[in-house]
Homo-oligomer: A and B are copies of this chain.
Amino acid sequence: MVDIATRVWNHKWKIDPIVRSLIDTDFYKLLMCQSVFRNKRDVQVKFSLINRTKTIRLADLVDEAELREQLDHVRSLSLTRGESTWMRGNTFYGKRQMFTPDFMDWFENLRLPPYHLEKRDGQYELTFEGSWPEVMLWEIPALAILMELRSRAVLRDMGRFELQVLYARAMTKVWEKVELLRGVEGLRIADFGTRRRHSFLWQDWCVQALQEGLGDAFTGTSNCLIAKNRDMEAIGTNAHELPMVYAALADGDGALRQSPYDVLADWQAEHDGNLRIILPDTFGTPGFLNRAPDWLAGWTGIRIDSGDPATGAEEAIAWWTSRGEDPRAKLIIFSDGLNVEKILELHAQFQGRVRVSFGWGTMLTNDFIGLVPDDALAPFSLVCKAVEADGRATVKLSDNPNKAMGPVDEIARYKRVFGVGTQERVEVVV
């Protein structure tokens, strides 16, 4: 077991890269990357880092040279032989050869494309441009690097034992969550916390603690490197970037309205079973479900990632019922802003009515709330999104206007095309 506090204290980071591997990323990124590689490999995209928590002035906290050093280090990475063997040989979601030989050939030769970094108003403008399957792989490392550099900046001047006690307290917090969750009948939780983790070592610790503490109720981690190293299941399906880019590429309102289903038609050609999970909220869940083709109702489940989660789950259940499907055979994955209380509440509310699963992110891998003065380690809302595709702006509406992004006129157009009315604003914490 790694003594995190001592690593934190000893290294003073000089020789401690934050992202050590191209598979230190979310599993769904690799699945989506393969899908993009197959269907849209020549699309040119621009990804951009966006700090939704403006009060955290990242450019004041994080040294630019250190940030460049970490980003440059990621550009030096390529897939190792062991990583390639794992991707080629491992079983994912019960399936062998999830990653095709031609995708693996491409991935083995990949180096991540250049980045563009500037400071503006106390924030970093960090963007990545190039072909979609390459650029998309920057998202998770870029987020993890900024989150961890911020942690390091806060921890830098702490003493050795002060640090050990800080981690002791954080471990205790995680374990108190385990104690609240263990023994809850039928609970299923996976780690989705890579992007906003406190640090790599910390995520690795949290995942292992959940494995020991929750046993079979812990289903795996979205982090491929940890899944590989710890012999766990790699968990994840697909994300908003697919419908966002497909939508941006669509010519005209009709094609735009159809684009989210095109994404899933492509996905269905590649995946089955528990990988057929609908993410319905990109342009508003109710309209998406209303207009959905019947074949989508046959999919395994729905992931609820914005808006009030109970409302989203009720909408999903009602939709399945209306399409003649038995919700009890369906899977709902909650993945938005979860904490223990919300997990227990949603589990109690929906267990038995549907199959329920949780993708637990930031409050699993970065809950240092209350542990340092001024809460300087509290997590914040950092994202890295596709903002352009072949020169056209992307849009995300979601089920929470506070999570919407894109140019104002395009947001208005999308709302019109997708028939999105008034939405409830939900505070975005992480």
Contact = CB atoms under 8 A, between A and B. Distances in A.
A213 B169 contact: no
Contact of A171 (B2, B160, B165): B165
Given A1-B3, A1-B6, A165 B161 contact: no
A168 interface: yes
Nearest to A165: B175
A172 B176 CA distance: 14
A172 B161 contact: no
A208 interface: yes
A212 B169 contact: no
Interface string A164-196: 110111011011000000000000000000000
A5 interface: yes
17 contacts: A1-B3, A1-B160, A1-B164, A3-B6, A159-B212, A159-B213, A160-B212, A161-B175, A161-B208, A161-B209, A161-B212, A161-B213, A165-B171, A168-B169, A168-B172, A168-B175, A169-B172
Contacts of A208: 161
A162 interface: yes
Dominant SS at the A interface?
helix
Interface residues of A, number: 23
Contact of A162 (B161, B167, B213): B213
Contacts of A3: 1-3, 6
A3 B164 CA distance: 10
Nearest to A4: B3
Contacts of A209: 161, 164-165
Contacts of A162: 175, 212-213
Nearest to A166: B175
A221 to B, nearest CB: 15
Contacts of A168: 167-169, 171-172, 175
A137 B161 CA distance: 32
